[in-house]
Chains A and B, each alone.
Chain A
Amino acid sequence: MKVDRRSFLAFILGGAAGTALSPLPWKITDDIAIWSQNWPWIPVPPKGEISQVSSACTLCPGGCGISVKKVDERVIKIEGLAGHPVNDGGLCPLGNSGTQLLYGPERIRTPLKKVNGRWQQISWQDAITELAAHLRQLRANGSAQAVGWLAGSDRGTVPELFNRFLTVYGSPNFWRTPSIWDSYELALYLTQGTRSRAGFDLENADFVLSFGSGLIEGWGSPGYMFRAKSMFRKAGGRMDQIEPRLSKTAAKSDHWISVNPGTEGALAYGLAHVIIKERLYNQDFVNAYSSGLPERYQQVIDGFPPEIVSKITGISAGTILTLARDFAAARKPLAICGQGQGHVPGSLQAFLAVHTLNALVGNINRPGGVWAVPEPDYIDWPELEIDAVAAEGLQKPRIDGAGTYRYPNARYLLHRLPEVINASAESPLKVLFVNDANPVYSLQDTAAVKKAFEKIPLVVSFSSYLDETSAQADMLLPNHMYLERYQDVPAAPGFPKPIISLSQPAVEPQYNTRHVGDVVIQLAKELGHTIGAAFAWDDYNSCLEETLGDRWDGLIEDGFWVNADYSGTQWADAFETDSARFEFTNKDIRTLAAYEPIKPEGDEAAYPLLLVPYDSMRLASGYVGSPPFMIKALEDTILKGNDVLVEINPDTARQLGLSEGRLANLATPRGSARVKVRLTQGIMPGLVALPRGLGYSGDNKFLDGKGVNYNRLSSPVDDPASGYNAAWGIRAKLS
């Protein structure tokens, strides 16, 4: 039989008909449609049991309660813990992004040691043995004081373990990350005689006068401040913001009062002047519970009449008068200070001026006022046995000069450390431990900081990431992430009540990391003698459980402990000064250098503009940088591509011949950077504003290499009164 063309066609036709009558085409079409909806490269998250763990966030000092949502053993989301006294269910963008920090590929997965400039894996045991040998040698050489420890905070069991270690080892060189709380604590101590932290009963205030504080931009505990701000505003409270740039806080205020940068203290003295002069102050408080006001007035405040203050601050005398009268007339006025999120301690005299305002209106330890909240007292460990070597080391002055005749009132002067190290041929600091801090990024004049860190023979970082400081370190001993460990989180800054929250593990440690508390205990045991004896606990968790005692079970259950009834000590018992009163001045205050607006670095002729930093809730600028979600949520008015936008007033732009969106060179005495120009009416002419929290360097492609680090372009300025860093900006030019 011959197969000709026609039979072939018939065969095909038959085939086509048969195929159409068979399920083949229809089934294939359907299957392909399904296949195309489920590309194999699109991840499919496995389903499972949903559970939650009540814990506390430690990504900033804010102390918010979190509810960690899990599906089986995966953390899928972090939410605010409803009912937590600080944040009651709310959570900031950083807290919301915590999962990305847990699962981010850039985490350090194992202990590392730098050998000839390259990282090599090392076992935990070897790392601890090696460190112990090094520390033993230093002690044998009589240089115990050459060991330093830098921590994000000095409260809670973990920093106390560091402190305990240093003390029994023989070094006074403990640091915590600088902040406005340094100045606040000092102001409270000088006027009220108590070592306490400043708490603000913001939710009950009816007039909040903020001297540049970023109330809703991360000042204090953001979780509390956001919530409290909504509460007092809902109750009809007024909010005035004094700062040269329309920050988000200013945008949410009733009045944005633009002030010459760095002159906020003068304004506070000016307001006090009006209040005293017009006798608007709280007679009851001033007469019966305070001392030294006439003297303080005579010596300081009298020098700030409205006309003079107007010249300094650029605010009209009329505005000053009205503001002072309104403030004094409010039922529960509250003045707060500390720039932005409060990374720079600031001018002590300015803090005293603002605190004076609160005292004048009698709003100390009162509803809606500023409260001196006692430090949590649950850490009650056995007395230390100090051996001769340790005693000798502890006698030595601190390397940064804090507590010496030059800076008698300062406790930690971290910003001076680079200067001290760079000025000496050999670093007086031989070993530095760094935990929850990234000083090579966050201290001003990063070039100097980097140089200093290079001179320190051994830097040990407990960071989970290869950040700027870790990159400079010689050994990396990665701590568990906060979602993998226990840790007490005491005292949310600015929160008015005594509180302890508890971080507890939501998941098993993902990598070969170790709790920093365990590392300290093991290191101490390895060193033995009095040092080992001071750390009798088996491990950190047993130390924590023992320390928290009766509170442990409640903390595990609820995630926090709070003294909800605390409402500030009554005036009669509140002050532990010599006079047992609030002291507007005393022998310590009298000897402080007088108030003068802090001058930033730079020559006015060469650098006609002033560069000021600003903070945003959408940028993390603490010891961790912004996770990808935050960078994604960042406004395109802050970052465009890899270029950061600086804000300038259109008038300034016109003078400089710059236009919107143009690339420009921003130069300061410390360096220069490429920036993009953004014009806004929300900034005083003559200023350039740059956000904090950009310009990281490293290999995290979502964060690093974007924008400019403000700290690289600026420098610290000593406050003459306290020694703390008080730099609010630096002179700059834009071309």
Chain B
Amino acid sequence: MKNGNFKKFGMVIDLDKCTGCGACMVACYAENNIPFREDDTDKMLSVSWMHVYRLNNGKPFPDYEECFLPRPCQHCEGHHGHSPCVSVCPATATDYNMATGIVSQIYPRCFGCRYCMGACPYHVRQFNWWDPIWPDGMEKMLNPNVSVRMRGVVEKCSFCVQRYQLAMDQAYMEGRQEIEEDDYQTACTETCPAGAITFGDLNNPEHAVHQLAQPDPAHEGRPKNPKAFRLLERLGTNPKIYYLSRREWVRRAGDNYLKGEFQNKAHS
């Protein structure tokens, strides 16, 4: 792969469309062999690469409003690939790939120090406190293209990288070196019944994600679309998940302002 061909896979999630149904979460569980336990209600201990958060505008009844925010790994680029988790991992178990822009998690390398979990400002990383157990017979549904993780390692959303690999295999088979936008889509994108998630190459102006987010290369990908925002943009994590909302309070919640901070500016 030549340097000029670098891709930057990213996602645009339209919060006006998202219904909070959770199909993305379940599709992710099925695609990525995510284990489940009898009681998974403690969300701090539950492994879920995609999590739908519920935000509210903090107003009393009946002016109260809510919004749902699906949160996969933000695949931060930081400055030149030094995303928060990548820069702290002592085991080189998480890495930033310049060719795809995907932040990887390598289970055989991870020894479970959980430093990355502390470094991640988005809570996207989860630790396997238990060995995964599938009820008798249910191991039949496991996807052979994704590692089954063991107790003691950290895991997170991989942008369904196995689908990228399979798409590349298909391309090679057909004598192509490149894949089309449709060839590689994540499980959550495909399943979203509301069509809220768009996935593709942020570097490719023909891809829908690029057109929706309008990333500004001069400002580390900050969206030019006034409806778009990224989570905790001010931290300089340079994430690749863009959110769209026409509600201002939602955009502000995404940037997590302190009370009274930047009163008149949605984007500083």
Q: Do chains A and B touch in the complex (CB under 8 A)?
A: yes
Question: A residues bordering B, Cβ < 8 Å?
Answer: 37, 39, 41-48, 71, 74-80, 87, 89-93, 95-97, 99-100, 102-105, 216-217, 222-223, 226-227, 229-230, 233-234, 246, 248, 251-252, 256, 258, 617-618, 628-637, 639-642, 649, 651, 680-685, 701-702
Q: With contacts A46-B144, A636-B41, A684-B61 known, what are 6 further pairs, Cβ within 8 A?
A: A74-B140, A78-B30, A104-B137, A222-B193, A226-B19, A630-B26
- Mark B66-103 against chain A: 1 for CB-CB distance below 8 A, else 0: 11100000000000000000000000000000000000
**Given A248-B20, A639-B41, A681-B60: A45 in contact with B194 (beta carbons within 8 A):** no
Hey, which chain A residues are within 8 Å of B36, CB to CB?
Answer: 628-629, 631-632, 702
Is there contact, CB below 8 Å, between A223 and B193? yes
A–B pairs, 7, beta carbons within 8 Å: A43-B142, A71-B143, A80-B190, A80-B193, A91-B23, A96-B30, A256-B65
Q: List B32-68 residues whose CB lies under 8 Å from chain A.
A: 33, 36-43, 46, 48, 52, 54, 56, 59-62, 64-68
**Given A80-B193, A105-B135: A632 in contact with B29 (beta carbons within 8 A):** yes
Q: Within the complex, which residue of A42, A97, A637 is in contact with B131, where a contact is CB–CB below 8 Å?
A: A42
> Top 8 nearest A-B pairs by Cβ distance?
A90-B193, A45-B142, A226-B193, A617-B21, A681-B64, A216-B19, A251-B66, A96-B26
Is there contact, CB below 8 Å, between B148 and A90? no
State the CA gap A635–B65 with chains docked (Å): 18
Is there contact, CB below 8 Å, between A629 and B148? no
Cβ distance B46 to chain A, nearest Cβ, rounded Å: 7
State the CA gap A74–B145 with chains docked (Å): 14
Hey, which chain A residues are within 8 Å of B136, CB to CB?
Answer: 105
Hey, which chain B residues are within 8 Å of A251, CB to CB?
Answer: 20, 65-68
Is there contact, CB below 8 Å, between B191 and A632? no
Is there contact, CB below 8 Å, between A103 and B196? no
State the CA gap A222–B31 with chains docked (Å): 22
State the CA gap A535–B27 with chains docked (Å): 41
Is there contact, CB below 8 Å, between A227 and B22? no
State the CA gap A651–B64 with chains docked (Å): 14
Q: Which DSSP category, helix, strand, loop or mixed, fits chain B's interface? A: loop
Hey, which chain B residues are within 8 Å of A681, CB to CB?
Answer: 56, 59-61, 64
Cβ distance A480 to chain B, nearest Cβ, rounded Å: 16
State the CA gap A217–B29 with chains docked (Å): 21
Is there contact, CB below 8 Å, between B150 and A632? no
For residue B139, CB closer than 8 A to chain A, the reply is: yes
Is there contact, CB below 8 Å, between A96 and B140? no
Hey, which chain B residues are within 8 Å of A631, CB to CB?
Answer: 36, 40
For residue B183, CB closer than 8 A to chain A, the reply is: no
Report the nearest A residue to B30, measured CB to CB.
Answer: A77
Is there contact, CB below 8 Å, between A248 and B143? no
**Given A105-B137, A216-B19: A47 in contact with B61 (beta carbons within 8 A):** no
Hey, which chain A residues are within 8 Å of B138, CB to CB?
Answer: 100, 103-105
For residue B141, CB closer than 8 A to chain A, the reply is: yes
For residue B233, CB closer than 8 A to chain A, the reply is: no
Hey, which chain B residues are within 8 Å of A46, CB to CB?
Answer: 144
How big is the B interface, by class?
A: 35 or more
Is there contact, CB below 8 Å, between A43 and B22? no
**Given A92-B21, A100-B141, A628-B36: A682 in contact with B64 (beta carbons within 8 A):** yes
For residue B252, CB closer than 8 A to chain A, the reply is: no
Is there contact, CB below 8 Å, between A216 and B191? no
Cβ distance B26 to chain A, nearest Cβ, rounded Å: 4
Report the nearest A residue to B135, measured CB to CB.
Answer: A105
State the CA gap A269–B26 with chains docked (Å): 41
Cβ distance A247 to chain B, nearest Cβ, rounded Å: 10
Hey, which chain B residues are within 8 Å of A91, CB to CB?
Answer: 23, 27, 191, 193
Is there contact, CB below 8 Å, between A97 and B64? no
Cβ distance A609 to chain B, nearest Cβ, rounded Å: 16
Is there contact, CB below 8 Å, between A230 and B61? no
Q: Within the complex, which residue of A217, A628, A682 is in contact with B61, where a contact is CB–CB below 8 Å?
A: A682
Report the nearest A residue to B149, measured CB to CB.
Answer: A42
Report the nearest B residue to A95, measured CB to CB.
Answer: B23
Is there contact, CB below 8 Å, between B194 and A41? no
Cβ distance B152 to chain A, nearest Cβ, rounded Å: 10
Hey, which chain B residues are within 8 Å of A74, CB to CB?
Answer: 140-141
Q: Within the complex, which residue of B31, B148, B190, B196 is in contact with A45, where a contact is CB–CB below 8 Å?
A: B148
Report the nearest A residue to B61, measured CB to CB.
Answer: A681
Is there contact, CB below 8 Å, between B61 and A97? no
Hey, which chain A residues are within 8 Å of B29, CB to CB?
Answer: 629, 632-633
Cβ distance A651 to chain B, nearest Cβ, rounded Å: 8
For residue B115, CB closer than 8 A to chain A, the reply is: no
**Given A45-B144, A91-B27: A640 in contact with B41 (beta carbons within 8 A):** yes
For residue B123, CB closer than 8 A to chain A, the reply is: no
Hey, which chain A residues are within 8 Å of B22, CB to CB?
Answer: 93, 617-618, 630, 633-634
**Given A74-B141, A233-B16, A629-B36: A80 in contact with B21 (beta carbons within 8 A):** no
Hey, which chain B residues are within 8 Å of A97, CB to CB?
Answer: 26, 30
**Residue with the greatest number of chain A CB neighbours at <10 A, chosen from B17, B23, B30, B145:** B23
Hey, which chain B residues are within 8 Å of A633, CB to CB?
Answer: 22, 25-26, 29, 48
Cβ distance B16 to chain A, nearest Cβ, rounded Å: 7
For residue B134, CB closer than 8 A to chain A, the reply is: yes
Report the nearest B residue to A682, measured CB to CB.
Answer: B64
Report the nearest A residue to B47, measured CB to CB.
Answer: A632
Hey, which chain B residues are within 8 Å of A47, CB to CB?
Answer: 144-145
**Given A93-B21, A230-B17, A628-B36: A103 in contact with B142 (beta carbons within 8 A):** no
Cβ distance A241 to chain B, nearest Cβ, rounded Å: 12
State the CA gap A234–B212 with chains docked (Å): 13
Is there contact, CB below 8 Å, between A75 and B141? yes
Q: Within the complex, which residue of A103, A617, A651 is in contact with B140, where a contact is CB–CB below 8 Å?
A: A103
Hey, which chain B residues are within 8 Å of A640, CB to CB?
Answer: 41
Is there contact, CB below 8 Å, between B131 and A79? no
State the CA gap A252–B41 with chains docked (Å): 25
Report the nearest A residue to B195, measured CB to CB.
Answer: A230
State the CA gap A633–B140 with chains docked (Å): 21
**Given A256-B62, A628-B36: A43 in contact with B23 (beta carbons within 8 A):** no
Is there contact, CB below 8 Å, between A77 and B61? no
State the CA gap A636–B135 with chains docked (Å): 23
For residue B254, CB closer than 8 A to chain A, the reply is: no
Cβ distance B93 to chain A, nearest Cβ, rounded Å: 12
Hey, which chain B residues are within 8 Å of A217, CB to CB?
Answer: 19, 21
Hey, which chain B residues are within 8 Å of A39, CB to CB?
Answer: 131, 150
Is there contact, CB below 8 Å, between A682 and B66? yes
Hey, which chain B residues are within 8 Å of A45, CB to CB?
Answer: 33, 139, 142-144, 148
Cβ distance A482 to chain B, nearest Cβ, rounded Å: 15
State the CA gap A634–B59 with chains docked (Å): 25
Cβ distance B174 to chain A, nearest Cβ, rounded Å: 16
State the CA gap A641–B68 with chains docked (Å): 23
Is there contact, CB below 8 Å, between B26 and A37? no
State the CA gap A635–B21 with chains docked (Å): 10
For residue B202, CB closer than 8 A to chain A, the reply is: no
Report the nearest B residue to A64, measured CB to CB.
Answer: B193
Hey, which chain A residues are within 8 Å of B112, CB to CB?
Answer: none
Report the nearest B residue to A222, measured CB to CB.
Answer: B193
Cβ distance B151 to chain A, nearest Cβ, rounded Å: 8
State the CA gap A617–B33 with chains docked (Å): 22
Cβ distance B187 to chain A, nearest Cβ, rounded Å: 8
Is there contact, CB below 8 Å, between B131 and A93? no
Hey, which chain B residues are within 8 Å of A89, CB to CB?
Answer: 190-191
Is there contact, CB below 8 Å, between B148 and A44? yes
Hey, which chain A residues are within 8 Å of B195, CB to CB?
Answer: 90, 227, 230
Cβ distance A215 to chain B, nearest Cβ, rounded Å: 9
For residue B192, CB closer than 8 A to chain A, the reply is: yes
Report the nearest A residue to B139, measured CB to CB.
Answer: A43
Hey, which chain A residues are within 8 Å of B19, CB to CB?
Answer: 216-217, 226, 229, 248, 252, 617
Is there contact, CB below 8 Å, between A79 and B143? no
State the CA gap A91–B39 with chains docked (Å): 25
Hey, which chain B residues are within 8 Å of A256, CB to CB?
Answer: 62, 65
Hey, which chain A residues are within 8 Å of B61, CB to CB?
Answer: 258, 649, 651, 681-685
Cβ distance B114 to chain A, nearest Cβ, rounded Å: 19
Report the nearest A residue to B153, measured CB to CB.
Answer: A37
